[in-house]
Structure 1
Amino acid sequence: MTNQRLPIQQGLNFRQLTGYVNREHLTIKPHKLIRSGHLGQLTANDVQFLESYGVAYVMDFRTDHEIEAMPDCTIQRAEYIKNPVFSEAVAKHAIRTVDIAKNKIDDPQFGYQHLINCYHDIILSEHSRNAYRTFFDYLLKNNQDDRALLYHCSEGKDRTGMATIFLLSALDFDIETIKKDYLLTNSATTAYLESCLHIAYENHADETTIKAITDLATVRSDYVDYAFNLINERYGNMATFLEQVLNLTPEKIKKLKAIYLH
């Protein structure tokens, strides 16, 4: 689980999905899948690295408002797909961690509950479901070796995290591996959390606000457990959800495995 981080200088949470072994003892092919935060602050060397890596598709899960605030850098020869997981109506209630750092929060469960609500919307909102169906449509198009699909949101942890959970589940990885990948966000984004906390301390934040910031800027096993429990409660299991809700038929699952596993 140590070879996922990519040497991106000015990016957040850039990780390749390689090195994992699924229940069939197969691994994900190299240079096929990257998960990350936004591409808005990449250096010229970062862009060159991703171009050399073979990025052929960049899928952006952010809303129009987020994209306007921080447009992605251009990766030459890569197709850019705007595919917002949240509708603009839901996005109006979105909370940026850096904004919280400049304010005071009174509810110690604010950050935690906000993310629980996000995961609830990701699973049950038809807008989000359509976005993840599109995600899998492009995964199935990416059938040439050494052509990577990079998918991202703002921080690369929640919308991107659930995309990865759906994908690894479809590729027959166990829940322990799925959780380990999900929780790698915490070690990959320590500098981001520290910068948010620095702003908060400069604004004389109290302990409740610090807790809210930490909950918003990190990931927890609780969030994965909530997602799986909600899916199990509504659909019986993840496999049924993938087939009935995300339209991943057995034929599509077989094709996904052929494209991404060896």
Structure 2
Amino acid sequence: MRDKMNNKRLLDVKNGYNFRELGGYPTKDGRTIKWNKLIRSGELSELSKADQEYLTNYGVKYDVDLRSDLERKNAADKMLPKTTFIPNPVFNTGHDKTDEEYAKQYSINPNLGTENMILSYQSMVTEESAKKAFRNLFDTLLKNNQDKSSVLFHCAQGKDRTGLSAAFILFALGVSENDIRQDYLISKEQMKPYVQLKINEYSKYGMNDILKNNLSNLYSVDEKYFDAAMDMIKKEYGNIDNFLHEFIGLSDQEITKLRDIYLTD
């Protein structure tokens, strides 16, 4: 999936999911997002030495971890040299049941996975913890003004908390909603191996079609989820620009600075 001769949307990280570049997207003012500046991904807990070396050579300067304290404790990121680690939970609750409890919970109601994902996306544009986390992320982005230095931001699978973070960054940089939506949906293909992994893992507790369907909905992405967040933003703030200013707290000057840092003619 190459955008240019030496630039790739999908990064060559072997022991991790959904490592992707945000470079190359055009903006409404005729500029383009720089490569080697913005990386979105899943967790860094399984990285091999080669993966760590690859990301270090790629220029990762900041690792912003959007997971909860419990998630970080259970699967800590492998640290990268020369990289500042920033714990930055979007939510600090949930993910506290055993796999067996989750298997039981999601084996009864076929709509539960989708319903919970929609609620989660709505919470990410209304909850105080999410507001604080997105502001912290943008504060880090505003500090990343050196050449060949990247901000990597991630959650567990790099699709939901990371997906909306990427969307808000791209909106702030002036990328079209269609391109933002398409970038978000890349996770659908990227997460197929992970969905199968979870189905295999949960099979030991007894697998039925309801559980399988819920796992697919929980561990993938869907336009319904993205739209749930966008519709809530429109309901609460009128439009995305108001949301960026009022919820995340970005000033016009900060948006101009972000564009100066991350865009090229």
Within 5 Å, give how 1:104-183 maps onto structure 2. Answer: 105-183=107-185
Match of 2:250 among 243, 248, 251: 248
Instruction: Label 1:221 to 1:98 Cα distance change in 2 as closer, same or farther (>3 A).
Output: farther
Matched, 1:67 2:72: yes
Corresponding residue for 1:51?
A: 56
Cα distance, 1:25 vs. partner? 2.3
Instruction: Label 1:175 to 1:97 Cα distance change in 2 as closer, same or farther (>3 A).
Output: farther
Task: Quote the Cα distance in structure 1 between the aligned partners of 2:140 and 2:106.
Answer: 41
Sequence identity of aligned pairs in percent?
35
Task: Quote the Cα distance in structure 2 between the aligned partners of 1:236 and 1:222.
Answer: 19
Give the alignment's Cα RMSD to 1 decimal.
1.8
Instruction: Label 1:97 to 1:5 Cα distance change in 2 as closer, same or farther (>3 A).
Output: farther
Corresponding residue for 1:261?
A: 263
Give the 3-state SS of the residue equivalent to 1:123 in structure 2: coil
How many correspondences in the alignment? 259
Cα distance, 1:111 vs. partner? 0.6
Cα deviation, 1:96-142, whole Å, max 9, x if unaligned, reads 88974587520111111111111121111111101100100010000
Corresponding residue for 2:193?
A: 191
Cα distance, 1:202 vs. partner? 4.8
Instruction: Label 1:98 to 1:241 Cα distance change in 2 as closer, same or farther (>3 A).
Output: farther
Aligned residue identity for 1:83: N
Give the 3-state SS of the residue equivalent to 2:32 in structure 1: coil
Cα deviation, 1:38-96, whole Å, max 9, x if unaligned, reads 00000000000000000000000111110110010010010000011003xxx236678
Cα deviation, 1:178-219, whole Å, max 9, x if unaligned, reads 111001011112211111122344544111111110000000
Instruction: Label 1:104 to 1:241 Cα distance change in 2 as closer, same or farther (>3 A).
Output: closer
Corresponding residue for 1:10?
A: 15
Aligned residue identity for 2:237: Y
Work out whether residues 103 and 205 of structure 1, in 8 Å CA contact, stay in contact via their aligned partners in 2: no
Q: Which moved more, 1:144-153 or 1:104-113?
A: 104-113
Matched, 1:22 2:24: no
Instruction: Label 1:109 to 1:64 Cα distance change in 2 as closer, same or farther (>3 A).
Output: same
Task: Quote the Cα distance in structure 1 between the aligned partners of 2:28 and 2:203.
Answer: 46
Task: Quote the Cα distance in structure 2 between the aligned partners of 1:257 and 1:96.
Answer: 43
* Unpaired stretches in structure 1, ≥5 consecutive residues: none
Task: Quote the Cα distance in structure 1 between the aligned partners of 2:106 and 2:157.
Answer: 22
Q: Which moved more, 1:103-112 or 1:215-224?
A: 103-112
Give the 3-state SS of the residue equivalent to 2:33 in structure 1: coil
Cα distance, 1:28 vs. partner? 1.1
Give the 3-state SS of the residue equivalent to 2:62 in structure 1: strand
Corresponding residue for 1:81?
A: 86
